[in-house]
């Protein structure tokens, strides 16, 4: 049974946002993050092997792992990500074409916003859960706290510039379900194959209170 965005964002306090540059890294990376307690993984469509990485992860991980695609820009991206096996989609922003494609899609979209106006426009179209991006650059915790006053019915997953030290302040907000971040899988650790260290960082992130 497919999960809703609401259910997906409740799985763990942090969603790793991954850029997979080498296909051979895909499965060990996913297994390390999963073993550390981060079972919702976002693979960004920023590299040539991203779609293949998603498919490999879906095939290699247990059924309760939730593998999604980020950097969804166009309806074509949406279709390709679903065919690769994605069970959720994430966009940095929105366009009318993308929103219409998302409404017709069987796979839920976590659409990106940076302002109250964007959040309201998505909310009236049925998107109650949204990505706040780029979180730190767009005002961070104070901005989300301000938005929460007039728009308490919208729940956010802030992403962009958040690390282990900053995450707790976001997670303490009533309108934040979880945060997205990259800090648990630095490029240097991936290149070195330090999956044990990535698992440790994932476990640290998964233990954050919310």
Is residue 187 flagged as an active site residue?
no
Strands (E), the chain: 14-18, 40-44, 66-70, 88-90, 109-113, 129-132, 155-158, 179-181
47 near 24, Cβ under 8 Å?
Answer: no
Catalytic residue among 42, 136, 145, 199: 42
Q: Of 131, 188, 191, 197, which residue is the catalytic one?
A: 131
Query: How far is residue 150's CA from residue 153's CA, in Å, rounded to a whole number?
Result: 9
- Asked if 55 and 30 touch (Cβ cutoff 8 Å), the reply is no
- 31 is known as an active-site residue: no
Q: Using DSSP, state whether 40 is helix, strand or coil.
A: strand
Distance set, CA 62 to CA 46, 49, 148, 202 (Å): 25, 21, 36, 17
Rounded Cα distance, 209 and 165, in Å: 12
Give catalytic residues, as residue numbers. Answer: 42, 131
């Amino acid at each position: 049974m497919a999960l809703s965005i609401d259910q997906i964002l409740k799985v763990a306090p942090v969603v790793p946002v991954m850029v997979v540059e080498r296909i051979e890294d895909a499965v060990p990376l996913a297994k390390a993050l999963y073993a550390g307690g981060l079972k919702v993984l976002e693979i960004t469509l920023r590299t040539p092997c991203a779609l293949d990485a998603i498919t490999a992860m879906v095939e290699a991980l247990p059924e309760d792992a939730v593998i999604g695609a980020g950097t969804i820009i166009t309806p074509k991206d949406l279709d390709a990500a679903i065919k690769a096996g994605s069970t959720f989609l994430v966009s940095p922003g929105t366009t009318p074409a993308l929103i219409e494609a998302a409404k017709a899609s069987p796979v839920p979209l976590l659409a990106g916003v940076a302002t109250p106006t964007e959040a309201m426009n998505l909310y009236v179209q049925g998107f109650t859960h949204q990505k706040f991006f780029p979180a730190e650059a767009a005002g961070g915790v104070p901005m989300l706290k301000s938005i929460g006053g007039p728009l308490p019915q919208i729940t956010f997953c802030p992403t962009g510039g958040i690390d282990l030290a900053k995450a707790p302040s976001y997670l303490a907000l009533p309108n934040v379900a979880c945060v997205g971040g990259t800090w648990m899988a630095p490029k240097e650790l991936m290149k070195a194959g330090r999956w044990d260290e990535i698992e440790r960082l994932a476990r640290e992130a998964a233990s954050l209170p919310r």
